[in-house]
Structure 1
Amino acid sequence: MPRKADHDQRRRQIAEAVWRLATRGGLEDVTLRQVAAEAEVSVRLLQYYFGTREQLLLGALEILNDDAEQRARERLAMLGEAPGMHAIVRGVLLELLPLDEERRNRHLVYAAYFVRFLTDPALAKVAHDAPRALENLVADLIAQGQETGQVPRTIDAAAEAAFLVAGAEGMQSSILLRQRSAEDAVAVIDHQLARIFTTNGE
């Protein structure tokens, strides 16, 4: 067990180095040597844990995504035992916004990956599948809201989920560029959710 823990800790140490380099200047020109220096490990050790540069970028992204999912679960758990579908959907959507330092840094890393998403098939698959999975989750939550009387039956759960996820993702860059405040973005999401959820259902 200690060996597994040490292995995971070393992979995280290297992944965090990738993230720091990504937030400082993007990933297009980042080399294994730069990452190794940032992580304070040898290139040989880095290659032992991740392999090629492409495998390193993919591995660092997977660790980032796992972190994001864990943090999201923790924040949703803080909503209480029976928060209602409105609060749960709101919590899911707020995870897509850079509302604090942790989420801001994460979204900066995602922004640095964007060009790689367009050109690297392995990374492109990760980027391609994620939004649809999130849309399906939000659609399922809205549908559950319909079952409990929190959402009118006339609402198209899939269409609203696609709109909500796209809207939240679209506001990421405007917050990062300080074109829109985080408070304004949250207000936009709350406005849209108010159309969908007509009662608390609690």
Structure 2
Amino acid sequence: MPKRVDHAQRRTHIADALVRVAARDGLHAVTMRAVATEAGMSVNLVQYYFDTKAALLHAALERLERQSHDRWAARLAALPRPVTAYDFVEAFLAEALPTDADSRTFHLVWTSYAALALTDPELAAQPFVAGPDRLERRLADVLRQARENGALDRARDPATEAAHLLALSHGLGAGVLVGQRTADAALAVLRAHLDRLFDGPGPAPPPGGARGG
């Protein structure tokens, strides 16, 4: 009887191989052949699942985003109850900083992809900004709830503040990657901004406010 192939598992295996190549050698070194070698399979088999490099890159980004969500959920689960809006947002943004090997890989690959997409129409056509858009909306929802509960000044616009926070997090993350500052220093800057943003601890955010894909 022929062995049953788990196609979803095989796609994940290939995406993980791409991430390893990108983290080790840089995204510019990613080719179908390099990924196939890393995955221990033929180029034809890789192309069976991903007909273009852009499709493979996008699948790898989606994989990294899901893993990042799982790590963030673990951070949230470890926080003391009730979870304040401040702590919720801090955990949300701290996961986006390259503070360990996994988050560094995520930040490195996503930033490299964004840079390549500036001059590659095929990469730019992929909806790789969907993830950041979802994060911004989730942050805005939490900040909106915090404003209603009195933890955030009512004069502040949640959508604008969410955009500010993500831009700050991305900028700090890039600084850590290039050695401008340490991860601890980046976290200190982030916390200083949150101290100015929030007027009080506030109650926990509503269920379902966790980051997701």
Provide the TM-score with structure 2 as the length reference: 0.83
Per-residue CA deviation, residues 53-73 of structure 1 (Å, 9 max, x unaligned), is 222222222222222222222
Residue 28 of structure 2 corresponds to 28
- 8 Å CA contact 1:13, 1:39 repeated in 2: yes
Match of 2:164 in 1: 163
Q: Distance in 2 between matches of 1:103 and 1:142?
A: 24
Give the letter for the 1:185 counterpart.
A
1:184 corresponding residue in structure 2: 185
Whole-Å Cα distance in 2 between the matches of residues 3 and 68 of structure 1?
A: 30
1:14 to partner: Cα distance: 1.2
Report if the CA contact (8 A) 2:54-2:122 is conserved.
Answer: no
Cα distance, 1:200–1:115 mapped onto 2, change above 3 Å: closer
Quickly say closer, same or farther: Cα 1:91–1:49, change in 2 above 3 A.
same
Measured against aligned partners, the alpha-carbon deviations of 1:104-158 in whole angstroms (never above 9, x if no partner) come to 1211222332333222445554333333332222121111111222112122222
Residue 7 of structure 1 is matched in structure 2 by 7
What is the SS of the residue equivalent to 1:28? Answer: helix
Distance 1:90 1:96 in 2: 10
Q: Which runs of structure 2 are paired with 1:21-170 in the superposition (5 Å)?
A: 21-118=21-118, 119-121=120-122, 123-170=124-171
Contact kept, 8 Å, 1:117 with 1:127, in 2: the verdict is no
Q: Tell me how far apart the structure 2 counterparts of residues 114 and 151 of structure 1 sit (CA, whole Å).
A: 32
Which consecutive residues of structure 1, in runs of 5 or more, have no partner in the other structure?
A: none
Aligned-pair CA distance for 1:31: 2.2
Shift of the alpha carbon at 1:194? 1.0
For the aligned residue pairs, the C-alpha RMSD in angstroms reads 2.2
Of stretches 165-174 and 47-56 in structure 1, the one that deviates more from structure 2 is 47-56
Seq. identity, %: 41
SS in 2 for 1:199: coil
| Higher alpha-carbon deviation: 171-180 or 23-32 | 23-32
Q: 2:85 touches 2:151 (CA, 8 Å); kept in 1?
A: yes
Separation in 1 of the partners of 2:74 and 2:29?
Answer: 35
String of CA shifts for 1:36-59, please: whole Å, max 9, x gaps.
111111112212222232222222
Unaligned runs of 5+ in 2: 204-213
- 1:98 Cα deviation from its structure 2 partner: 0.5
Contact 1:58 1:123 in 2 (8 A): no
Matched residue count: 200
Q: Kindly indicate whether the alpha-carbon contact (under 8 Å) linking 1:17 and 1:38 is maintained by their aligned counterparts in 2.
A: yes
Counterpart residue identity of residue 90, structure 1: E
The corresponding residue for 1:19 is 19
CA contact 2:140–2:159 (8 Å) conserved in 1: yes
Name whichever structure is richer in helix by fraction. 1
